[in-house]
Homo-oligomer: A and B are copies of this chain.
């Protein structure tokens, strides 16, 4: 039943997932659902946990960087498949078993790599902020990947070029350029994050570095 709920949301967005539409999907009357579930909220909790369950877990014995990287890529593709899940994550209160298992595995990988408890918290928060935030951006894109140049050209044409010179520059000389793919920003950002974590592990024994006080400043 949760599978069908996810399928409905995938097909028509979260707004199209109603007790009535789900019942129809299952060939049953709306009220029959209440035999399996206390209310709609429980369904939402359930599908969020299932989405979490779709994300690849980091392997216990592997190299932390590789495992964390693979898991981040997996999370990204899962959230691209189920973009409605992002808005749901904000409002859920009770994490399900798949969610807990997932967090446990990530903490274990980071702790096992030698990160201190504090640094593990920094690392996980940063990683997931990036992953979730990237998913939000991808979900908000007005174009779907291949159509980017045309769509952006249409939008840019609406904007007075003299008021928004930088937006025009970026639209014309970057987005509308062959080979542009917003998805590439994920690779770049994830690399930045992983590099920083790796550096902190080497320099500080897993302790937090003090950003902004490095020689780079």
Residue pairs across A and B with Cβ atoms less than 8 A apart, 24 shown, are A86-B90, A90-B140, A100-B167, A104-B167, A108-B166, A117-B174, A120-B170, A122-B188, A125-B188, A126-B130, A128-B133, A129-B133, A129-B134, A130-B130, A131-B133, A132-B133, A132-B136, A132-B137, A133-B134, A133-B136, A187-B211, A192-B196, A194-B211, A194-B212
Q: Which chain B residue has the least Cβ–Cβ distance from A175? A: B121
Confirm or deny: A51 has a beta carbon within 8 angstroms of a beta carbon on chain B. no
Please indicate which of the listed interface residues A103, A142, A182, A211 has the most CB atoms of chain B within 10 Å of its own CB. Answer: A211
Contact A189–B134 (Cβ < 8 Å):
no
Give the secondary structure class of A's interface: helix
With A133-B136, A196-B195: A122-B90 Cβ-Cβ less than 8 Å: no
Confirm or deny: A193 has a beta carbon within 8 angstroms of a beta carbon on chain B. yes
Q: What string of 1s and 0s marks CB contacts (under 8 Å) between A108-124 and chain B?
A: 10010000011011100
Measured CB to CB, the closest approach of chain B to A137, in angstroms, equals 6
**How many copies of this chain sit in the oligomeric assembly?**
2
Q: Which chain B residue has the least Cβ–Cβ distance from A109? A: B166
Q: Which of A164-181 contact B (CB under 8 A)?
A: 164-167, 169-170, 173-174
Residues of B within 8 A of A188 (CB): 122, 125-126, 208, 211
Q: State in angstroms the CA–CA spacing of A93 and B216 once bound together.
A: 39
Contact A170–B125 (Cβ < 8 Å):
no
Confirm or deny: A185 has a beta carbon within 8 angstroms of a beta carbon on chain B. yes
Among B159, B169, B173, B202, the residue within 8 A (CB) of A216 is: B202
Q: What string of 1s and 0s marks CB contacts (under 8 Å) between A78-121 and chain B?
A: 00000100110111110000001001100110010000011011
